[in-house]
Amino acid sequence: MSISREQIRELAELQDENTCAVSFYYQPSAPRNKAHKEDIILIKDLARESLRRIQDKAKRDCARQDIERIVRLSTELRTNGTHGKAVFTCADKNVWREFDVPAELGSTQIFIDRHFHLKPLARLLGASPLLAVVLVDKHRARIFDLRLGELAERDDLFHPLSRRGRSDGFGGYDGGHAQRRVEDEVRHHFKNVAGLLKELQEKGVFEKWILACQDAHRPIFESQLHPYISQTLIGHFNADLGHVSADEIRTHAQQILDRWHDERRQDMMNQTLSQARSNGRGVTGLRRVLRSLELGEVQTLLVGENLQGHAVECTRCGHIDAHLVSFCPVCGHATQEIVDVGEAILPWVVRRDIETFYVKDDPEFDKVGNIAALLRFRSEKVQPISVSAAEDLEKAGAEYPGRLRRYARR
Ligand SMILES: [Zn+2]
């Protein structure tokens, strides 16, 4: 079963300083004879190593049963190299979630931490919209979901042409009449499909879509679309609904999606950096991006694949600080150094559904610190809250978002 955004959000919620959340990512080796055996040896090594690194005995004991279960699972894994696996488990909290993912994880990994590690998934999902692929011909329409490289059929609409519509006529008046009748029926069918698309999009079934039909039908079909459905169309390809295979659909659609994604990332990068230069709705560098995340200003986040930043995290309230302070400036609890800041910010990103792009080897991006954000607004322009109001908030306790207080003090 492939993973949904809702499920990732649920995983991001789990955060507890006393727990041991185990995340396991399985990247199958290229299909070779002994590959699976080698995979199992690697997984056993990783399992042993990850347990050894935990200093706290209680936590190690807690993680052990999860780790053992993962090792057992891995001996049963049968994939031909086309699928990877992601498992999130925390026996402590009664959590065991298992997902098939595309075999594009890079490597097999095990993490034991006080929260799940989601970065390999975030890289896969990135800013991928919920995508529909719509196949249309004169009397049929098939609607597919494309999610993490998996194609699943959602709807199959069939409108048989009426008997009169189907007849060719004899030319002359009757023939022309029959011809118009067919055109009317086709237009009516296209209109129905357009209506269904509008309904599905309003329900949140998809955000973007790709059209596949014969080129000749495209202008007539597109003329039936509601303007805002047209705006979410990201590409099309020529296909004969009756003959195209699932593999062909997936390949074409994935190419269109990848291209769209690359263009959007480049566009967001240009906008963010130019906004940051003009001191507008863009920020760069770890410190300023962290602050904007906590202020809830971030609309789109750009993260370098090799972001290396030093930061600490409060194990009680989750505040992340690029100053290496020993105690949390928000709630006063002790902080811990973060090994991978790109991982640590993900729960924020997932919870707020922030569009995130991973950027690979970009010298210009490297210069600004490998992290940047495009903001929906800048809270500097919002009326500042008074210092006394901030102190009232302080009394409200640790569960209150620290960002307001920190903001008032600036
Ligand atoms: Zn704190």
44 CA to middle of ligand 1, Å?
Answer: 36
Contact indicator for 371, 303 with CB cutoff of 8 Å: yes
CA distance 307 to 290: 13
378 has a pLDDT exceeding 60: yes
386 CA to middle of ligand 1, Å?
Answer: 22
381 CA to middle of ligand 1, Å?
Answer: 26
Torsion, Cα of 376, 377, 378, 381 (10° steps) = 180
25 CA to middle of ligand 1, Å?
Answer: 30
pLDDT for position 370: 94
Query: Strands across the sheet with 298-304, in order?
Result: 282-284, 371-375, 298-304, 355-359
404 has a pLDDT exceeding 90: no
316 CA to middle of ligand 1, Å?
Answer: 5
With a CB cutoff of 8 Å and minimum separation 6, the contacts of 308 are 370
CA distances (Å), origin 352, targets 12, 15, 23, 341: 11, 16, 22, 17
300 CA to middle of ligand 1, Å?
Answer: 25
Taking all residues of the chain, what is their mean pLDDT, rounded to a whole number? 83
Closest to 316 (Cα-Cα) out of 90, 59, 15: 15
pLDDT for position 400: 37
CA distance 41 to 74: 10
Contact indicator for 190, 136 with CB cutoff of 8 Å: yes
Overall CATH class of domain 281-409 = alpha beta
State percent of the chain over pLDDT 90.
47
Contact indicator for 212, 237 with CB cutoff of 8 Å: yes
Overall CATH class of domain 131-264 = alpha beta
Question: How large is the average pLDDT for residues 217-227?
Answer: 95
3-state class percentages of the chain: helix first, strand second, coil last, to nearest 5: 45, 25, 30
pLDDT for position 250: 93
Listed by start position, the domains of the chain span 5-125, 131-264, 281-409
81 CA to middle of ligand 1, Å?
Answer: 43
CA distance 408 to 410: 6
CA distance 355 to 283: 15
Helix H or strand E segment including 61 = helix 57-76
| Long-range own/partner contacts, residues 254-257 (CB < 8 A, 24 or more apart) | 254/146, 254/149, 256/210, 257/128, 257/131, 257/146, 257/210
Contact indicator for 356, 122 with CB cutoff of 8 Å: yes
Residue owning tokens 């998809």:
206
Residue owning tokens 């006063």:
332
Look at 265-269, 327-331, 359-363 and tell me which has the smallest mean pLDDT: 359-363
396 has a pLDDT exceeding 70: no
What's the one-letter identity of residue 199?
E
Helix H or strand E segment including 65 = helix 57-76
| Long-range own/partner contacts, residues 46-55 (CB < 8 A, 24 or more apart) | 46/108, 46/109, 46/110, 47/71, 47/110, 50/110, 50/111, 50/112, 51/112, 53/112, 54/20, 54/112
Would you say how long the chain is, in residues?
Answer: 410
pLDDT band for position 283 (50/70/90)? Answer: very high
Structure tokens at 34: 């002994």
335 CA to middle of ligand 1, Å?
Answer: 8
Give the distance, in angstroms, between the CA of residue 314 and the centroid of all CA atoms in the same chain.
Answer: 26
Q: Tell which CATH classification among 3.60.15.10, 3.10.290.10, 3.10.450.50, 3.30.960.10 matches the domain 5-125.
A: 3.30.960.10
Tell me whether the CATH fold assigned to 5-125 matches the one assigned to 131-264. Answer: no
Backbone φ and ψ of 211, nearest 5°: -105, 135
Residues with CB under 5 A from ligand 1 (ion): 314, 316-317, 319, 328, 330-331, 333
pLDDT for position 1: 56
DSSP symbols for 276-296: HHTTSSEEESHHHHHHHHHTT
Structure tokens at 327: 């105690």
pLDDT for position 182: 83
Render pLDDT for 189-199 as a digit per residue (tens, 0 to 9). Answer: 999 999 999 99
279 has a pLDDT exceeding 60: yes
Q: Name the range with the highest mean pLDDT among 221-230, 312-321, 356-365.
A: 221-230
Render pLDDT for 138-195 as a digit per residue (tens, 0 to 9). Answer: 989 999 999 887 888 988 888 765 555 444 545 455 667 778 888 888 999 999 999 9
What's the one-letter identity of residue 206?
F
Q: Which residues pair with 301 in a beta bridge?
A: 356, 373
pLDDT band for position 136 (50/70/90)? Answer: very high
State percent of the chain over pLDDT 70.
85
pLDDT band for position 260 (50/70/90)? Answer: very high
8 CA to middle of ligand 1, Å?
Answer: 24
337 CA to middle of ligand 1, Å?
Answer: 13
Look at 28-32, 59-63, 345-349, 389-393 and tell me which has the smallest mean pLDDT: 389-393
